[in-house]
Amino acid sequence: YHAARRKMKAALIEYYRGLELLKSYATTNQESYRKMCKKYNKAVKEKLAPTKYMEDKVNKAFFVESDEIDHIMKVTEDLYALHFELGHHKVAVSKLRAKAYKEGHYTGAITRSGALLGVGTVLALQGLTKGAQRLFIVEHPLKEQTEYLLQLYAGYFLMWLLAVFFILCCAMFRRYRVNFQNICDLEKRSALDWKQMIEIPSWLWGLFGLVMYLNFNVMAGGYTMFVYWPIVLIGLTLLLLVWPFRMFYYRTRLWLAYSIWRLVSSGALYTVEFRDFFLGDMFCSLTYALGNIELFFCLYANEWDNPAQCNSSHSRLMGFLAALPSVIRGLQCIRRFGTTHQWWPHLVNLGKYYFGCMMYMCLSYYRISKSQDWLVAFCVVATINSLYCSVWDIYMDFSLGDLKAKHRGLRNTLVYNNVYWIYYAIIVIDVLLRFNWIAYAVYTKDVQHSSICSFFVAFSEVIRRGLWILIRVENEQATNIKLGKAHRVPPLPYKI
């Protein structure tokens, strides 16, 4: 009952928003006619009153005289108030009516973000420098622990970096009027501007820098506390993100938590929406951070005794966690096929994630067994996966590759039309970084070099995903423009 009620509530809100857009369309046309008449009279020095054409033609048109939309909006308000707000019409109207977006300065958020990013960067660099120095001291008693601590911090950094890339893309979307709130299913009445969004990762970055500084430079807590600072970092991060009180962008944090829950269960409990597979694709670029989950629990479960037993050369679980996002995306593809009964594109997309799972499986088996046969298998599967993903990115996720388009190789509808070169650049970078796995095949002997290699491969993948976001959401906007789709169609609890 409660799930059905939530769906009906969301459907009424979206329906009301569609009515608002339709009314705005009529009002905009009326205003456009008025301005055209005024400019025409001024250009030809017409002596007739500028309102004559408006009075004779425009004001008598059906889209001006009709009050049908107002009537339907009133009925919708009454229905919403009756069923969801205990008859309080004023409360219902305040929740239904969209608030007009006004560009703000957000001085407080920008000031805090700048200060936190600056301080966090200085502290993080000092901590990183001090930690890296210990790695080159052969007999240092904390050398091995420092190496694994840096791996844990690296996973945290990559997650943070991808979040920042998304926010920077939102700034680009705002500039080019990409309706990313509608595409990503953000609640428009509480959606943040990118200048506000950046404050959340800014606080996390300040916390990250402080913890690294206390861990490596200050050695706060001495040798006893040295290996426990990542727990402090993760604990405070979770506390900040799940803080239950209505402060610090509560609605945004709630949306993020709910979206992650939908991602985990979208193949079974929910129909798959854009934000589900969009978030799933982003997690596919965080395999390094997900693998660190196994590393984290293994290190602390064994009380940091022989940390080498927890690395990828001894753990199948780490390989499974690296493949987990591809498994979830594969389940989403199966669910979408079951819902639509269309093998194209869902089953073909499933094949892409199948090869992704196989690639991480072969890599994990090679790291454990050191067998050249598994290395060959990994190279073959990874090559197929990279080619598969590159073609899919260009032709499906980006909808590019039209040789007859105005800009050859792109498409006719481009949102970033005045900077069309960015599409060519992203195509080249995306394809090149799809083959970043080659570094795994090169650095296979030295364990330390292999760890550094894994980080830089993961770092390049996060960069690729950040550029992918820029075109993937833009492509969705271009498709909506082509189809004349101004608002989404929310799922209903019954079949029509």
The SS3 call for residue 211 is: helix
Give percent helix, percent strand, percent coil of the chain, each to the nearest 5: 75, 0, 25
Least confident of 82-96, 209-223, 323-337: 82-96
Of 52, 67, 97, the residue that ends a domain is 97
CA–CA separation, 323 vs 487, rounded Å?
Answer: 34
Is 304 in the same domain as 327?
yes
What is the C-alpha separation between 34 and 247, in angstroms, rounded? Answer: 45
Q: 273 — phi, psi (to 5°)? A: -110, 175
User: For 213-286, where are the alpha helices, taking DSSP H only?
Assistant: 222-225, 229-241, 250-265, 274-283
Domain with 306, as residue range(s), is: 267-495
- Tell me how far apart the alpha carbons of residues 149 and 135 are, in angstroms, rounded to a whole number: 11
Judge residue 124's burial from the number of C-beta atoms within 10 Å of its C-beta, 0-12 exposed, 13-18 middle, 19 or more buried. buried
Mean pLDDT lowest among 25-34, 184-193, 305-314, 374-383: 184-193
DSSP 189: T
CA distance 80 to 73: 10
Phi/psi at 138 (5° precision) = -60, -45
* Predicted local confidence at residue 101, as pLDDT: 53
Average pLDDT value for residue range 378-403: 96
| Burial readout 80-99 (b: 16 or more C-beta within 10 A, e: otherwise) | bbeebbeeeeeebbebbeee
Task: Tell me which of 32 and 389 has the higher pLDDT.
Answer: 389
Using DSSP, state whether 402 is helix, strand or coil: strand
Write the CB contacts of 237 (distance below 8 Å, at least 6 apart in sequence): 156, 204, 207
Distances (CA, A) of 239 to 25, 196, 245, 253: 45, 19, 11, 11
Are 244 and 147 in the same domain?
yes
* Cα(286)–Cα(198) distance, integer angstroms: 20
User: Does residue 209 share a domain with residue 66?
Assistant: no
CB 141 within 8 A of CB 440: no
Q: What is the pLDDT of residue 285?
A: 97
| pLDDT (0 to 100) of residue 95 | 84
**Residue 99 reports pLDDT greater than 70:** no
DSSP 418: G
Q: Cβ(475)–Cβ(398) under 8 Å?
A: yes
The structural domain count of the chain equals: 3
pLDDT in tens, 154-172: 999 999 999 999 999 999 9
The arithmetic mean of pLDDT across residues 220-246, rounded, is 92
Q: What is the average per-residue pLDDT within 220-225?
A: 89
Return the pLDDT at 37.
81
The pLDDT, as a whole number, for residue 486 is 66
- Assess whether 127 and 187 both reside in one domain: yes
Pair (452, 392) in one structural domain: yes
- 110 and 57 fall within a common domain: no
Name which of 112, 106, 126 is nearest 203 in CA terms.
Answer: 112
Contact 34, 54 (CB under 8 A): yes
Average pLDDT over residues 173-201: 86
How high does pLDDT run on average in the chain?
A: 89
| Measured distance CA(347)–CA(440) in Å, rounded | 29
pTM (2 d.p.) = 0.88
Q: How far apart are the first and last CA of the chain?
A: 18
316 in the same domain as 178: no
Tokens 């992203």 map to which residue?
426
The verdict on 433 and 320 lying in the same domain is yes
Q: In terms of domains, do 342 and 444 share one? A: yes
Percent pLDDT > 90 in the chain is 59
Residues in Cβ contact with 357 at an 8 Å cutoff, skipping those fewer than 6 apart: 323, 326, 327, 330
Beta carbons of 357 and 330 less than 8 angstroms apart: yes
Mean pLDDT value across residues 199-206: 97
Query: What confidence score (pLDDT) does residue 116 get?
Result: 97
Tokens of residue 23, six digits: 């009314």
Higher pLDDT, 444 or 404: 404
The pLDDT score that the predictor gives to residue 49 is 60
Query: Residue 449: its pLDDT value, please?
Result: 61
Give the H or E element holding residue 408: none
Domain end residue (candidates: 262, 277, 306): 262
Domain final residue, candidates 262, 286, 320: 262
State whether 346 and 362 are in the same domain: yes
Give the residue ranges of DSSP H helices in 393-485: 421-433, 438-442, 447-483
Does one domain contain both 244 and 123?
Answer: yes
**DSSP states of 120-170:** HHHHHHHHHHHHHHHHT-TT-TTHHHHHHHHHHHHHHHHHHHHHHHHHHHH
List phi, psi (to 5°) of 194.
Answer: -60, -25
- 66/394: higher pLDDT: 394
Whether the pLDDT of residue 100 is over 60: the answer is no
Tell whether 346 and 404 lie within a shared domain: yes
